[in-house]
Amino acid sequence: MLTVDNLEKTYDSGDKALKGVSFEVSGNEIVAIIGPSGAGKSTLVRSINRLTEPTGGRVSLDDTEVTGLDKSALRDVRRDMGMIFQEFNLVERLTVMENILSGRLGYLSTWNAFRRNFPPEDIKRAREILSRVNLEGVENNRADELSGGQRQRVGIARAVIQRPKILLADEPTSALDPDTSREVMSLLTDIAHEDDIPIIINIHEVDLAVDYADRIIGLSDGEIVFNGPPDDLDQAARDEIYRGGESIADREEPSAGSSTGSDDVIAERGD
Amino acid sequence: MAAESGSAVEGSWERPTVFYNKKVKYLIYGLILLFFAYSFWNLRISPSRFVRGIGAGVELVTSMLPPAYTPSQRDLLIQGIVESIVMTIVATTIGIIVSVPVAVMASNNLSPKPVYYVGRSIVAVTRSLHELIVAIIMVKAVGFGPLAGVLALAFKTIGFFAKLLAEEIEDIDRGQMEAITAAGGTPVQTYLYGVLPQVMPRIVGLSIYRLDINLRHSTVVGIVGAGGIGITLLNSFDKYDYQFSMAIIAVIVAIVMVGEGVSALARRRIQ
């Protein structure tokens, strides 16, 4: 179970990206985090495994408090959290096999990592996962030879081979076309059910969130303004998330001068 | 108002000068010309001195042709050339092995500020001295012979290789590194999987290029007693044995040309 308690992040520039966010995720729940650009979605997901260092509050995975761990203990807990990225973040010049196996690096000595000396069970499992994500036969291709959808499936395979207790997906479909986006979302939901792990998906396409998520968290200006099943996400809730409570009828231009200032966007796009 | 004053000059336009105004511009041009005139006056190379110089040059060249060597000189030549080539290979290997960690230190995206400044200082110091100066220092430090030459060439390799590799490292895609970090990789594993594959083509290209440079320099450092063919060349000049000098120069040119060809071929292969 992942517990996020009053999480805060203030960037060096003074932008408050997260203003005390609290929620829990457990079981094999698929939680979609939605919200406008600059609401802090990316910061939130990245703060859970401390790729972005939160400035306040606590994150706990089962009985381990992630915030406050030293570097070595943080590496251990990161092995239990698989991460999937918007731009896939595959190592372009390495083969698909090496990219998938790099998910096991946390369990490998540096010398064995240098020699690409992965244990046989890891390699066997990498092949199983390859067929699970429908990528048989490409293990010796370089990652930069694949299409966007294939790359993201390699990214998912790399996270799954970690045998994580939770998956974190930071805008996994933003760089993909609509059909491929749906394939990736259904692959993620299958993994959650088959491996019995929860997934936190940060996503800006509300339709995809409603179709695939068990629960939706709406983030607006660094605060949770909605937390419930997709069926409860009515127009009022959407207005609350995207327009700070004003309905479409109230204003013609939903973006200009809204409560989520454009300076927050810059802060979030820091990665 | 603006329109009225503008109409008078509407048909004329002048390129804005990088100097404050035209007067400053011509003043600076004048000063530069004056400095050139002073330089020539200071050296006072008269036309008759110039003609005498050409005469001596023609005499030298005619006394050098045709290149020739006695059997004992041939042995000296082969010994010197082999020593130069061996020095090149050893010095380049040592230089590159030392350069890679220095390059990591000297790249501002991987190293904390204090380490970065140390790395940059190493690069600056190794770049600031000419090969011959370094070779003289090394001869004083470890005595005559190829060891001094190897140390001098390896030392110079660091400044070149680490600087250019550091610039390449600063341009890498952080996302690929981040993925390894998120999977629980140690910093060294992150370098091995997230950074090294991205800069590997550059490492190969720079190595070949530096091998080429070191081959040329290895023929020169011998002049100050640091091993290689250079000392044989200097001795032949001292003995006015210009035909042997010409033979040595021809062999050096031939070797450098072969090296140039091989490096061009190798660089084409790795693109």
- Within-domain flag for A92: yes
- Within-domain flag for B66: no
B158 three-state secondary structure: helix
State how many domains chain B has.
1
- Within-domain flag for B55: no
Query: Along the 271 residues of chain B, how does pLDDT read in single tens digits?
Result: 444 444 556 788 877 777 778 888 889 999 999 999 998 888 877 778 888 888 888 888 888 788 877 888 888 888 888 988 999 999 999 999 999 999 999 999 999 999 999 999 999 999 998 888 999 999 999 988 889 999 999 999 999 999 999 999 999 999 999 999 999 999 999 999 999 999 988 898 888 889 888 988 888 888 888 888 888 888 888 888 888 888 888 888 888 888 888 878 877 776 5
- Within-domain flag for A65: yes
- Within-domain flag for A266: no
Put simply, the answer to whether B184 touches A76 (Cβ < 8 Å) is: yes
Strands across the sheet containing A2-10: A16-25, A2-10, A56-61, A64-65
Distances (CA, A) of A211 to A13, A32, A174, A195, A206: 37, 10, 16, 20, 9
Put simply, the answer to whether B192 touches A110 (Cβ < 8 Å) is: yes
- Within-domain flag for B146: yes
Residue B23 has a pLDDT of: 86
Lowest mean pLDDT among A12-16, A35-39, A266-270, B250-254: A266-270
What residue in B sits closest to A114 (Cα-Cα)? B192
Put simply, the answer to whether B179 touches A271 (Cβ < 8 Å) is: no
**Chain B residue set in contact with A, beta carbons under 8 Å:** 173-176, 178-186, 188-189, 192-194, 197-198, 200
A97 pLDDT more than 90: yes
Q: CATH number for the domain including B214?
A: 1.10.3720.10
Residue A223 to residue B218: CA distance in whole angstroms: 66
CA distance A264 to chain B (A): 21
Put simply, the answer to whether A90 touches B178 (Cβ < 8 Å) is: no
Confidence of residue A257 (pLDDT cuts 50, 70, 90): very low
Residue from the list A87, A92, A162 with its beta carbon closest to the beta carbon of B183: A162
Lowest mean pLDDT among A24-38, A121-135, A175-189, B223-237: B223-237
Domain holding B164, by residue range, is 72-270
Residue B16 has a pLDDT of: 78
Residue A152 has a pLDDT of: 94
Put simply, the answer to whether A110 touches B186 (Cβ < 8 Å) is: yes
- Within-domain flag for B103: yes
Which positions in chain B touch A79 (Cβ < 8 Å)? 183-184
- Please say whether the beta carbons of A135 and A160 come within 8 A: no
Which positions in chain B touch A110 (Cβ < 8 Å)? 186, 188-189, 192
Confidence of residue A246 (pLDDT cuts 50, 70, 90): low
**Chain A residue set in contact with B, beta carbons under 8 Å:** 49, 51, 75-79, 81-83, 85, 87, 89-94, 98, 102-108, 110, 113-114, 155, 158-159, 162, 271
Put simply, the answer to whether B183 touches A94 (Cβ < 8 Å) is: no
Domain holding A164, by residue range, is 1-240
- Within-domain flag for A35: yes
State how many domains chain A has.
1
Give the best residue of A78, A91, A117 to mutate against chain B (max B CB count within 10 A): A91
Which positions in chain B touch A73 (Cβ < 8 Å)? none
- Within-domain flag for A255: no
What residue in A sits closest to B195 (Cα-Cα)? A91
Residue B18 to residue B80: CA distance in whole angstroms: 54
Q: CATH number for the domain including A121?
A: 3.40.50.300
- Within-domain flag for B2: no
Residue A265 has a pLDDT of: 43
- Within-domain flag for B113: yes
What ipTM describes this predicted complex? 0.84
Confidence of residue A268 (pLDDT cuts 50, 70, 90): very low
Residue B43 has a pLDDT of: 82
Residue B41 has a pLDDT of: 85
